[in-house]
Structure 1
Amino acid sequence: MQLPPFLIERMFAKHEFTCRVNLTGSDTEGLSLNALWEVAPEDTRRWYESLTLGYTESPGHPLLRELAAQSSGVRSGSAVQVFAGATEAVFVLLNAILSPEDHVVVIGPTYQLLIDVPRAIGAEVAELRLRREDGWRLDVDEIRRALRPNTRLIVANFPHNPTGALPEAPVFEELVGLVDGTETLLLSDEIYRGIELEPQRRLPSAAALTSNAISVTGVSKVLGMAGVRIGWTVTQNEAVTARLLDYRYWTTLATSAPSEVLAIAGLQAAPALMDRANGLVRANAGALASFVESTPGWDWVPPVGGTCAYPWLTATEARAFSEWLVDRHGVLLAPDVMFQHAGQHLRFGMGRALFPEGMATLARAWPEWQREGPSPRHG
């Protein structure tokens, strides 16, 4: 399997740890260990401190699997497979269930992993993009028309990266209904589920609605624990679970014992950590709204859920501006070319504590850009 360059990860490799403000990262502010132990059970902390650093069970620690199942509204931990991050979970899932004879429908624009791994496997991929002129609305009828007899998988991600879109529950349930009782599966990337600008808009987990859905999530975005590198799949489809485990023996085999205990602590403290994440995102979304809605040259469809927003520049090419902004002012924004959606959009990540500082710099930099434009090497 030949994989293309991973565009946004290459950008992060170049700038993430050298820029002054990362205004585009899609995680929430990293949680300190001290802050975790302030809200997690004391016995879990003692377990962590006395942990033996041996191998772990390949499917994941039983308690972690039970807590993950509960968080998705599924009864049994046997429905959960734990991986070294949600990225590995998606990669293993796609390789375990797809073949070159398959057809895949992907709701875009999307994180490159979700669309280019199926292509690399050799499957035929139809990308159906949400459109800003429709308010990033999910059109289930369009997806229905795209299905074929050999459609093996529909790939969805809600709350959506990069647009912040979130369908109403009946629309999402209609999407899930497309695969129920068929030979088609739904990969529901739910890594941002739990962050909603309107709390009543939280969607159910797809895995709780049908055995033909595989939900993928983890601790990185909503719980502020990206460095723990723990993610998981949830599905009531026993055949898919078995295939995931067989494939997984060939990758990381099992996850880190300390990371599993930290993930358990995070799930045990999830209500407090989700409140923290939602507080950050809602405050930062307000700051972004004030800027976009008062600044000529910018427009947007306001986000509804997750950490991401996707404003666009009305008269400026996004890539040139983003390169100028990080070079001149040390503020990192991802242009839409990172989502194979080239044009005028920029992805903002609203979960970081330095977001207000980044927005203040952006507000000062924008008039400078309008006066001077890009440097010759960007022109």
Structure 2
Amino acid sequence: MTLTATTQRPMRDFGLEVFFSRWEFTARHHMTASDLESMSLSELLTFASDEDRSAFENLWLGYTETWGAPALRREIVGTYDRLTDNDILCLAGAGEGLYAVPHVLLMRDDHAIVPTPNYQGSETIPLSICEVTGVPMDYAPASSGDDVNGGWCLDLDRLKDAIRPNTKLISLNFPHNPTGYLLPHEDIEALVSIAREHGIYVLSDEVYRGVELDENDRMPQIADIYERGVSLNVMSKAYGLPGLRIGWIASQDRDLLQKTERFKHYLSICNSGPSEILALIALKARQKILSRNRTIMMENALALEGLFNTYPDLFEWQRPMGGCVAFPRYLGPDGVEIFSRKLIEDSGVLLLPSSIYSSELGDTPQDHFRIGIGRDRVFKEGLKAMEAHLDKTYPGFRK
């Protein structure tokens, strides 16, 4: 059964950001970060050619092109299979795209579909415009024996049943935040066929593409394979450079891109010139950066797996398929909310309890928590603190 929210409501507070505003910069161990290991400006500039370094140092700090610097757009195109630089619109981070595209596409009498749980902007922004139906993702414990990738799956029959004559948009996020799930290739092809049959746009948040634990699981980008697909990406997540605030959308639908560019005039107007050059430098070095980040993720995933295996009656864990966040299940008698609160208050370890992922579109799992595996020293130190907390607080549960 799908669950439908009512229409035309003010946007609620962004629960995750409200939570982070309290804890993100005060917790001793930020173990729920959603970005990969970042770097200093001097480290990033070691990847720069003499030409790009000179362009950065001698940049005139005026307004930039609304569409994005031509050289940056050409480099972004290199991350796609079928597009040209005319199919790219640069934005001020991914959030601007999540806000702008639904406002360009949707009107009051339209309808959108969003899987749950999700990154809150994916549902809250469309909900402020029109009716939205949530399609719950299914969870299968590892102990069940079900062949479910990463413990989760999206039932395409359920998604298809949610379609109405006025459905205009399906909003996706894969690799998925918070579960780390990836659609199998046959499922993304089937989803495109469903959308094409009904003339529905697909907005695909692909900010973790490139940091799959197994590169064979990497999904095609929606803008490459569907004429009404809109791919969203950013320098913040897989590249670990959120301070640049450079994102983009890609689409074969140039009319949609043009309308979004006009909408951008009311938002950021243009991107930061220095950030555009720094993003260009990073994208030229993308293979080195992404390879480094995948290595960090795998090391951290294995270390976390070792800790959870030491406490099998407290945690249910399956590795995420992609992205640097995972959504383990907490089995302890005190419940995940109390567990998370004691962990931060007593030991300074920050996790996101599943209440942060509560949805207006229906029930979501309430016994999970988000943990990030994308940072290096921060994660390793936090894991030690987490293990010490478990040894002290739950000694009887240690294997």
Structure 1 residue 23: Cα displacement? 0.4
- For each residue in 1:161-210, what CA deviation from the matched residue of structure 2 results, as whole angstroms up to 9, or x when unmatched? 00011122121222222222642100100000001111111111110001
- CA drift at 1:144: 1.3
- Which stretch has the larger CA shift, 185-194 or 64-73? 64-73
1:349 corresponds to which residue? Answer: 372
- Shift of residue 57, structure 1, vs aligned partner: 0.5
Measure the CA separation in 2 of the matches of 1:36 and 1:181: 45
Give the equivalent residue in structure 1 for 2:39.
31
Q: Tell me which residue corresponds to 1:375.
A: none
Q: How far off its partner does 1:342 sit?
A: 5.3
Question: Per-residue deviation at 1:369?
Answer: 3.2
- The SS at the match of 2:238 is coil
Counterparts of residues 162-181 of structure 1 (less than 5 Å) = 162-180=178-196
- The equivalent residue for 2:327 is 310
User: 123, 126, 132: which one pairs with 2:133?
Assistant: 126
Distance 2:355 2:54 in 1: 46
1:255-270 equivalent positions in 2, closer than 5 A = 255-270=271-286
Asked if 1:6 corresponds to 2:29, the answer is no
Give the aligned partner of residue 229 of structure 1.
245
Which SS does the other structure have where 2:34 is aligned? coil
For the residue of structure 1 that corresponds to 2:125, the secondary structure is helix
Matched with 1:51 is 59
| Alpha-carbon distance in 2 for matches of 1:103, 1:293 | 44
Provide the residue aligned with 1:183 in structure 2. Answer: 199
Residues 213-244 of structure 1: per-residue CA shift (max 9 Å, x gap) = 00000111111111100110000011211110
Kept in 2: contact 1:106–1:127 (CA 8 A)? yes
TM-score by length of 2: 0.90
2:103 is matched with: 95
Query: Which residue pairs with 1:376 in the alignment?
Result: none
Match of 1:242 in 2: 258
Partner of residue 67, structure 1: 75
Match of 1:326 in 2: 344
Give the structure 1 partner of residue 318 of structure 2: 301
Number of matched residues?
Answer: 371
Structure 2: which 5+ residue stretches go unaligned?
A: 1-8, 141-147, 359-363
Q: 1:143-162 alignment to 2 at 5 Å?
A: 143-162=159-178
Q: Where does residue 144 of structure 2 map in the other structure? A: none
**1:201 paired to 2:217:** yes
Is 1:17 the counterpart of 2:25? The answer is yes
Please tell me whether residue 366 in structure 1 is matched to residue 390 in structure 2: yes
User: Quick one: distance in 1 between partners of 2:227 and 2:71?
Assistant: 22
CA distance in 2, matches of 1:68, 1:147: 33
- Contact 1:94/1:117, CA 8 A, preserved across alignment: yes
3-state SS of 1:178 partner: helix
8 A Cα contact 2:354 2:366, kept in partner: yes
Unaligned runs of 5+ in 1: 373-379
Normalised to the residue count of structure 1, the TM-score between the two structures is 0.94
Q: Whole-Å Cα distance in 1 between the matches of residues 197 and 267 of structure 2?
A: 31
2:322 alignment partner AA: G
Q: CA deviation at 1:371?
A: 6.9
Cα deviation digits, residues 102-135 of structure 1 (max 9, x gap):
11110121110101111112x1111112121252
Looking at structure 2, the residues matched to 293 and 146 of structure 1 have their Cα atoms a distance apart, in angstroms, of: 39
- AA of the residue aligned to 1:345: H
1:30 is displaced (CA, Å) by 1.4
Distance 2:124 2:335 in 1: 24
Rounded to whole Å, the distance in 1 between the matches of 2:186 and 2:153 is 13
Structure 1 counterpart of 2:369, which letter? L
SS state at 1:4 partner: coil
Is the 8 Å Cα contact of residues 113 and 171 (structure 2) preserved in structure 1? yes
SS at the partner of 1:279? helix
Cα drift, residue 360 of structure 1: 1.3
Q: Distance in 2 between the 1:338 and 1:113 partners? A: 12
Secondary structure of the residue aligned to 2:388 is helix
Deviation at 1:367, TM superposition (A): 3.6
Structure 1 residue aligned with 2:301: 285
Aligned mates of 1:140, 1:148 — CA distance in 2? 15
CA contact (8 A) 1:181 1:212 kept: no
Within 2, Cα distance between the matches of 1:207 and 1:14?
Answer: 37
User: Hey, what's the Cα distance between the residues in 2 that align with 1:243 and 1:85?
Assistant: 18
Letter in 2 for 1:255: N
Quote how far apart the aligned CAs of 1:90 are.
1.1
CA distance in 2: counterparts of 1:335 and 1:283, whole angstroms:
24
Determine helix, strand or coil for the equivalent of 1:351: coil
Question: Quick one: percent identity of the two aligned structures?
Answer: 33
Amino acid in structure 2 at the alignment position of 1:305? G
Contact 2:138-2:155 within 8 A present in 1 as well: no
Contact 1:15 1:332 in 2 (8 A): yes
